[in-house]
Amino acid sequence: MTRVPTHPGKFIANDVLQEYGLTQQELADMLKVSRLTINELAQGKRSVTPGMALRLEKLTGQSAEFWMRLQNMYDLAVTRMDMIEALQEIEPLDGTDGRNLTEDSAK
């Protein structure tokens, strides 16, 4: 079975809260969001939005794209697992082997 990438909330919990010795309330105050937002992010119950990614970029110096990539990788892996049966029923177009058509045309 494929390993699911780490939810970005784990990075927030470990690399921001723990590393800097912050409480969820302190981080929420710094980011100008609610403590509930931080709590749900840290527990993996809430996604990093573009707005949150920009807030985290400003606070941590890690680019908004970094935070969005983490979220996108997590979401895609979870969705792929949820859709495994439906995806197996889809036949690829002839000659594509299921590859992305835009990747092929860019070559």
pTM score over 0.85: no
Classify domain 8-91 at the CATH superfamily level: lambda repressor-like DNA-binding domains (1.10.260.40)
pLDDT digits (tens, 9 = 90+) for 55-84: 999 999 999 999 999 999 999 999 999 999
Higher-confidence position of 107 and 76: 76
Least confident of 1-10, 14-23, 42-51: 1-10
> Residues 6, 78: contact at Cβ < 8 Å?
no
For the chain, the domains span 8-91
What burial letters (b/e) apply to 18-42, b meaning 16+ CB within 10 Å? Answer: eeeeeebeebbeebeeeeebbbebb
